[in-house]
Amino acid sequence: MTPFDPNGVGLENGNLFGLPCDRDTAEIIVWGIPWEVTVSYGSGTAQGPQAILHASPQLDLYDFDNPKGWQQGIYLAGIPDFIQAKNDALQPKAQQIIDYISQGYDPKENATITATLSEINQECQALNQWVYSQARSVLEQGKKLALLGGDHSVPLGYLQALTEDYKEFGILQIDAHSDLRPAYQGFEFSHASIMTNILKLPQVTKLVQVGVRDVCTAEVETVQQSQGRIITYYDPALKTQLYQGATWHSLCQDIVEHLPQQVYLSFDVDGLDPKLCPQTGTPVPGGLELEAVFYLCRTLIERGHSLIGFDICEVGNGVWDGNVGARILYKLCNLMVLNPSPSI
């Protein structure tokens, strides 16, 4: 092969962005998790990692925040077929439960439904454990990890792995939903319950949510009763402040002020205006522009915070969705290596 030319045509070499690196030489390892078993509306996000991979060689590699960021090496460890196969087998079973509950029935009154629900919860827990194991392997090598969903349930094992390296850290969540429902639709590890499960980790001292605009009363009450552990910037309130003359710069300064030194970013793309990722699983009108999110992340770095990890979830299987998802991934990889933070 000829030497890699960052100005040339993107290589279709099986790696993200066509970069010429492997697991040993890359500083950032990426796992795609093709999992959307508990999806409760649109499907297709299990193909999100593949859509991002397919689009990624089309990106030019100059990044305005980190012009030589590509040199760090970004390597796709895999999009496991066995996870996709398990997802495909379990998703119809989960849909049976969702349909049953949607008709007003109690799953506890049906032995078959109860057994299926238990099976799915066990399999979701097994996925969490697999993600945890892979995360620990990456972190113990002194590398950084990014996860690509799949639905928003996939990063729990990664967060559990980070608690062994950081005695405290915060979560910055970009999302249209709070994801604070306990065991939504009976699924202990539902995509709608991810933040409930993450907050069970005592090392997570702060959760700051941005862009939320589709939320139930109980979730609002959970935020209100959290004694400041959860700070939610609801999209309608953000828009009102912007319409009244506030600047996004000032709002970003305020948002970042609530976060501790070490920050994990959980990016559900339905937090964006749905024109950007129209095939996401649960699109909601309104939302953030992509550059607004990048400005927020840039503010985080400029204020001296460290991005210790991230996930990108709910990217749909459309060509445009993959394009946007790839750009999010590249930007966050280039920001994550700035202001590195030592573990405990």
pLDDT, tens digit, for every residue of 266-309? 999 999 999 999 999 999 999 999 999 999 999 999 999 999 99
Give the per-residue pLDDT at 339. Answer: 81
Q: How many Å apart are CA 43 and CA 110, to the nearest integer? A: 26
**In Å, how far are 38, 248, 265 from 332, measured between CA atoms?**
27, 20, 9
Residues in Cβ contact with 210 at an 8 Å cutoff, skipping those fewer than 6 apart: 172, 173, 174, 175, 233, 238, 255, 271, 288, 293, 296
User: What is the length of the chain?
Assistant: 344
Strand partners, 30: 76, 146
Give the per-residue pLDDT at 343. Answer: 65
Q: Where are the domains of the chain?
A: 16-336
- pTM of this prediction? 0.95
Cβ pair 86, 119 in contact under 8 A: no
| Confidence check: pLDDT of 341 > 80 | no
Q: Could you report the per-residue pLDDT of 33-64, keeping only the tens digit for each?
A: 999 999 878 889 999 999 999 999 999 999 99
Q: What is the mean pLDDT of residues 244-264?
A: 98
| Confidence check: pLDDT of 240 > 80 | yes
Helices and strands (H, E) in the chain, number of each type: 10, 8
For 157, the token pair is 């094992």
| Confidence check: pLDDT of 11 > 90 | no
| Confidence check: pLDDT of 159 > 60 | yes
User: Domain 16-336 falls in which CATH fold?
Assistant: Arginase; Chain A (3.40.800)
How many Cβ atoms from other residues are within 10 Å of residue 64's Cβ? 9
Phi, psi of 240 (to 5 degrees): -60, -45
Reported confidence tier of residue 1, pLDDT bands at 50, 70, 90: very low
Q: Could you report the per-residue pLDDT of 160-171, keeping only the tens digit for each?
A: 999 999 999 999
Cβ pair 248, 293 in contact under 8 A: no
| Confidence check: pLDDT of 215 > 50 | yes
Strand partners, 263: 170, 307
Cβ pair 55, 323 in contact under 8 A: yes
Give the per-residue pLDDT at 2. Answer: 56
